[in-house]
Amino acid sequence: MAFGAGSVHKEVVLKEGDGQGREGVRTDLVIRGVWDRQRDASFDVCVTNADAPSYGNRPTRSILATHERRKKNKHVRVCEDLSMTFTPLVVTVDGVWGREAEHFFTRLTEQLLTRQGCYLDSDLKQQNQLTVLYYVWPPLMQVQLQTDCRVRAKPYDQDNDADSVSFLIEKDKDGRLIAEYPRKLWVLVGDDSDVKPEEALRLRLEKQALRHGCAVDNFDRWHFYKYDNKTYDKAGELVHVKTLELKDESQAIVDSIMELLHRDDTRLPLQRWDDALYHNFDEDDEEA
C-alpha cells in the first residue's frame, strides 16, 4: 500500500454527467495499492442512522448490507471501466461498520504491520507517534469490530515535555452503566528520554486513581500492569502482569483490553483486585 500524499486523492470525479439529466459518479477516496499493487482502489462513505423509524425492526447488519449494495450498484461498473476496485464504507451514526469496511480495516492493519521497521531512524517523538499508528490503533479497531461496544480513546498530554503519548480508554456503550461502574484503562505509548515507561505509567495511574494500565513500546509489545494493593492505606506497587506481542498475540491483546474494561477499576485503594465488587461489605456480609 502506498502511503505518500500523491497516492491518496479525495473527492474524485470518476464519471462526468452528460448534461442530459444523467448524473456523474463521484467517490470520496482513491488510494493506490490497497488490494493490488499499483492498482487504484475507490472508497465511498455512507453514514446512516440504523435507529430511524423508517427502518422499523430491521437488524443493523441488514441495513448496512442494503447501503453497501446500493453503493456498489452505482460505482462498480464505472470503477471496472477505469481498472479500479470499489469498496463501500458504510457506518451507522453510533459507530457500527459494514462488512466491507471491516474487511478494509483488516487489510489496512496487515499493511501497516509490514512497514513497522521503516521508522526506527526517526527521532523519539516521531517513533512514539508512529507506534500509536502501527501498534495501538489496530487492536482498538479490532475491539470495536469484534464487540458490541465502542471504545472511546481520549488523548492525554499530562506533561507537555513528555515524548510519550498517553490515552485514556473507556467503553462508550451504556451511559447509565458507565456512570455507575466507570471502567477506564490508561495506555502509555512509547518512551521518554528521562524516565522509564513503568515509572511514567505508575505516576499516571496514581494521579487518575486507576487500577490497570498498559505500556506499549516501539517493538510491538503491550506490557500490562496493575497495582498490587495490600492495605487500604496506600495504593501499593506497580506489578507487571504480562507482555503480549501484537504480531503473534493480537487477539490476546484485544481480549485483555475488553476484560479490563469490564471491571470497576476506578475506586482505589482496595485490598485486592478480586475484592473490588465486595469492598462495601463488612465481615458479616452486611452492607457497610
pLDDT band at 279; cut points 50, 70, 90:
very low
Using CA atoms, how far apart are residues 85 and 40, in angstroms rounded to an integer? 7
Measured in degrees and rounded to the nearest 5, phi and psi for residue 171 equal: -70, 150
The three cell numbers of residue 7 are 497516492
Angle, CA of 159, 165 and 168, to the nearest 5°: 90
Instruction: Provide the pLDDT confidence category of residue 265 given band limits of 50, 70 and 90.
Output: very low
Among the residue ranges 2-6, 103-107, 222-226, the one predicted with the least confidence is 2-6
Task: Name residue, grid cell 500500500.
Answer: 1
The yes-or-no verdict on residue 231 having pLDDT over 50 is no
CB atoms inside a 10 Å sphere around CB 259: 10
DSSP string, 177-197: HHHHS--EEEEEES--SSS-H
* Residue 180 confidence (pLDDT) above 80: no
211 and 226 in contact (C-beta within 8 Å)? yes
Nearest to 4 by CA among 29, 28, 27, 31: 31
pLDDT confidence band for 45 (50 / 70 / 90): very high
Per domain, the residue ranges of the chain are 5-114, 124-276
